[in-house]
Structure 1
Amino acid sequence: MSLYAAITYTHDVDWTAPEQAEEMGEYAAFGQAAAAIMRGGAALFPTATATTVRAEGKGGEVVVSDGPYAETKEVLTGFFLLECTDLDHAIQVAATIPAAWNGAVEVRPVIPMG
């Protein structure tokens, strides 16, 4: 079994807002269906809450700016960490994530660290 990050790109909303309850219910249903292979995940607050950090080289001046790195129609809104048999299995599972229906899900193998 390998680990895959299923990174969600959707419209930029506050997932804690009451008007997102129906869609969050779809994500909860996905979470229940994929519970056997899910190893983690989280939704992210809107990009307006983001802080971008850059360093001018190792040990250099730190530059901090409000907001996301780039403005796009679809933004990084969350991720799931899935333990799947192979990439084909990860793709099959990613297609059931609600973000795939009206946005995109990027699937990437995870490099084990330590």
Structure 2
Amino acid sequence: MAKYMILIYGDAEQWDAMTDEQWKAHDGGHAAFTAKAGSRVLDGQQLERAPTATSLRVDALGQIHTTDGPFLETKEGLGGYYLLEAADLDEVLELAKLLPELNYTHSGLEIRPVVDHG
């Protein structure tokens, strides 16, 4: 079994504008995903909004600089993740189709295999 990270991206302004009813439906979509994925979900969390991030970069002299905000400046920020264990990417893709972010044009998913170093 391999591990895969599903990264959930979206526009925080759009998420902030959702009604309580929309949030209930959204949370229901995540509940359906986790129910279907079962023990394949190793971890998953919603993240605070992108502006709360702290980024570190190193300059040409090797000095580390800390800045407030996300590493990249984009309209869509990382909003959460799931870490799954699955037989292959096809299995993860089928499960990911259940996530409610695919119901909105302002959000999307990125799936990456996790490197196994050992």
Find out whether 1:75 has 2:66 as its counterpart.
no
Corresponding residue of 1:49: 52
Runs of 4+ in structure 1 deviating by more than 6 angstroms, as ranges, are none
**Contact 2:7/2:111 (8 A) holds in 1:** yes
CA root-mean-square deviation: 2.6
Matches for 1:1-114 after TM superposition, within 5 Å: 1-12=1-12, 19=20, 21-22=23-24, 23-56=26-59, 60-102=62-104, 103-114=107-118
**Percent identity of paired positions between Structure 1 and Structure 2:** 34
1:48-83 C-alpha deviation (Å, 9 max, x unpaired): 11111112369x211011111223232111111111
Q: Structure 1 pair 11/24, CA: closer, same or farther in 2 (3 Å)?
A: farther
Give, in whole Å, the separation in 1 of the partners of 2:28 and 2:97.
Answer: 17
TM-score, length-normalised on structure 1?
Answer: 0.80
5+ long unaligned stretches in structure 1: none
**Superposed displacement of residue 21, structure 1:** 4.2
TM-score, length-normalised on structure 2?
Answer: 0.78
Give, in whole Å, the separation in 1 of the partners of 2:100 and 2:6.
Answer: 12
Give, in whole Å, the separation in 2 of the partners of 1:111 and 1:70.
Answer: 23
**Superposed displacement of residue 2, structure 1:** 1.2
**Superposed displacement of residue 4, structure 1:** 0.8
Q: Greater helix share, 1 or 2?
A: 2
